[in-house]
Amino acid sequence: METTASDQIYDYLERIGNLVRMGERRVDSVKGLQPVQLEALHYLSSCNRYSNTPLAVADYLGLTKGTVSQTLSVLEGYGLIEKIPDVSDKRVVRLVLTPRGQQVADEAIPPQLLKLAVDTLSEPSRGEIVAGLRTLLQAMQRANQLKSFGLCKTCRHHRQEPDGNRWCGLTREALLPVDAEKICREHSIADIVSAELDEAV
C-alpha cells in the first residue's frame, strides 16, 4: 500500500506527541496527573473569561461531559483549580486556576524537551513549522466542522479602535489586552484566513 501524506503527517504528529508527553512527565510538579488532566489544566491557563466552563473544556478536548467532570474533580482535589459560580448566571460554573495550578501549568507546558529542540532551529524554520501546523489545524477544524478555539485577536469578532480600546463584536463587551492573547470558545476564523484556506483546498 502506498504511503499517503496523511499517513506521514500522522506518524510525525504521533511521535512528536509521545515525546512531548514524555517531557511533561519529567516535571516533578506534574507527578500524579494523567495527560488528560494536564491538558485540561493547560486549556484553563490559556482560555479567556468566555471559555472557562466545563462544557468549553469538553468541547476543546473532544471528551464527554462525564469524563471532563471526573478530570476537573481531580484537579480541584489537588488544589489546582477552583469552581466559582458565574456572577450573572448562577447556573454556570467558572473554572479558575489557583496560584498552584498556574505554577504547574507554567512549569510543565511547553516541556523543556520541546523548548531545547526549538532553540536549535533557525528563526525561518520556526516560522515555517508554526505556519504549517496552524494551516493543518485550521484545515482539520474546517473539514470536520469543529470549533477553532483560536486567539481572541485573530477572531472575526475582535475589534480594536484607533485609541487602542478593544471589544468583542459578538458579545459587545470591552476586552482587555490580556483577553486578546487568550483562546476563546466563540472564536471564528477571520475572513482573510477563511479565504486562504478555501483556495488551498
pLDDT above 80 for 189: no
What is the end-to-end Cα distance of the chain in Å, rounded? 25
Q: 134-161: per-residue pLDDT in tens? A: 899 989 988 988 888 888 998 989 999 8
| Topology at the third CATH level for domain 5-112 | Arc Repressor Mutant, subunit A (1.10.10)
Segment 74-96 mean pLDDT: 93
CB 23 within 8 A of CB 114: yes
**Proportion of the chain above pLDDT 70, given as a percent:** 94
Question: What does the DSSP assignment read for 127-142?
Answer: HHHHHHHHHHHHHHHH
pLDDT above 50 for 195: no
Please report which confidence band the pLDDT of residue 56 belongs to, taking 50, 70 and 90 as the band edges.
very high
Average pLDDT across the chain, whole number = 89
pLDDT above 70 for 172: yes
Q: What is the pLDDT of residue 191?
A: 54
Q: Please, is 123 exposed, middle or buried when counting C-beta atoms within 10 Å of its C-beta (0-12, 13-18, 19+)? A: exposed
For residue 110, is the peptide bond before it cis, meaning its omega torsion is within 30 degrees of 0? yes
Read off the C-alpha cell for 57: 473544556
Please report which confidence band the pLDDT of residue 68 belongs to, taking 50, 70 and 90 as the band edges.
very high
* Domains of the chain by residue range: 5-112, 122-200
Q: Please, is 199 exposed, middle or buried when counting C-beta atoms within 10 Å of its C-beta (0-12, 13-18, 19+)? A: exposed
pLDDT above 50 for 133: yes
CB 68 within 8 A of CB 40: yes
